Amino acid sequence: MNGLKFIKVNNPDEGSENLFNIIKEALEKNELHVLGLATGGTMIPVYKKWVESDLDFSGVTTFNLDEYVGISDDNPNGYAYFMNEHLFSKKKFKKVNTLNGLAENLEEECQRFEDLLLANPLDIQILGVGENGHIAFNEPGTPFDSVTHVAKLTQSTLEVNSRFFKPGEKVPNTAMTMGIKSILRAKKIVLLAFGEKKRAALTKLSEGKVDSEWPITKLLEHDNVTIITDLAI
Ligand code: GLP
């Protein structure tokens, strides 16, 4: 039907181990030069494993999927901060690329990022998924041909992501994100989804029909996607 492969694991830790092995093998085969990274709670055990390992990323360039608008590198709610805390301050990379949430001209910042992506094709893109099926910050209804762009977040995403913010702190309602087309250009995509809250999105995917209200379903058109999940779908 498509290039989708499901790996069923017992828990997130086992899932992180699976992804670790995929990354390790790609590094050993010298097939991993450009790596797309994700943020979110799902990725915390993933990066912990990498940090505790002897994986050598010194020849690897990275691109992060997204960033909130109006949030600086030193703001703990930001994704650049998240990456520094969990990975970049602990492992050496050749070069890391993140979107600048404080850029004066957001359109220009998106273009700068997209140009860099085009010049450095992704070998592997790691993805999480939102409860509403969003990938990166491509919310339901985002055109499938979108490249890196400014995105308005849905109420549901604001509510779900508010758990990372302190009480009283407002979740930014705007972000910059790699587009669906930018993500699908990666040679290989590995998506991690753990827990019941991700069931609706994975169920849509397994139904096998591309639906713009469920951005995750566009992965059905890619020829090399691995889904690592603890859900029996
Ligand atoms: C955010 C990010 C996504 C991520 C999603 C799921 O909205 N923009 O890239 O996949 O959260 O996060 P979590 O892993 O915390 O469930």
Alpha-carbon distances of 169 from 161, 164, 172, rounded to whole Å = 12, 10, 9
Distance CA 80, CA 73 (A): 5
Domain range 4-229, CATH class = alpha beta
Residue 69's closest CA among 149, 14, 5? 149
Q: Report which ligand 1 atom has the smallest distance to the Cα of 153.
A: 7
Round to whole Å and give the CA distance between 98 and 65: 8
- Catalytic residue flag (residue 100): no
Give burial (CB, 10 Å; 0-12/13-18/19+) of 100.
middle
Q: Residue 141, by phi and psi: left (phi above 0), alpha (psi -120 to 50) or beta?
A: left
CA of 152 to the centre of ligand 1 (A): 15
Tokens of 155: 């109420």
Minimum-distance ligand 1 atom for the alpha carbon of 39: 9
Q: Could you report the average pLDDT of every consecutive run of 10 residues in the chain (233 residues)?
A: 87 98 98 98 97 98 97 90 97 98 97 98 98 97 97 95 89 97 98 98 97 98 97 93
Residue nearest atom 9 in ligand 1 by C-alpha distance: 136
Query: What are φ and ψ of residue 12, in 5° steps?
Result: -60, -35
What phi, psi does 189 have (nearest 5°)?
Answer: -125, 135
Distance CA 228, CA 50 (A): 17
Cα(198) to centroid of ligand 1, in Å?
Answer: 11
Per annotation, catalytic residue among 132, 138, 149, 222: 132
CA 83 remoteness from chain centre: 12
Distance 55 CA to ligand 1 centre (A): 24
Q: What is the pLDDT of residue 74?
A: 85
* Catalytic-residue membership of 134: yes
Question: Is 132 noted as a catalytic residue in this protein?
Answer: yes
Ligand 1 atom nearest 129 alpha carbon: 10
Residue 38's closest CA among 3, 62, 13, 74? 62
Name the residue ranges covered by the structural domains of the chain.
4-229
CA–centroid distance, 173 to ligand 1, in Å, is 15
pLDDT at position 1, please? 46
Distance 28 CA to ligand 1 centre (A): 29
Q: Which residues does a 6 A CB cutoff place in the pocket of ligand 1?
A: 38-42, 65-66, 128-130, 136-137, 157, 161
Atom of ligand 1 nearest to the CA of 198: 16
What is the C-alpha separation between 211 and 15, in angstroms, rounded?
27
What is each CA distance from 227 to 176, 181, 214, 230, in whole angstroms?
25, 19, 16, 10
CA distance 191 to 205: 12
Q: Which two tokens stand for residue 161?
A: 């992501």
Q: Could you confirm whether 139 is annotated as catalytic?
A: yes
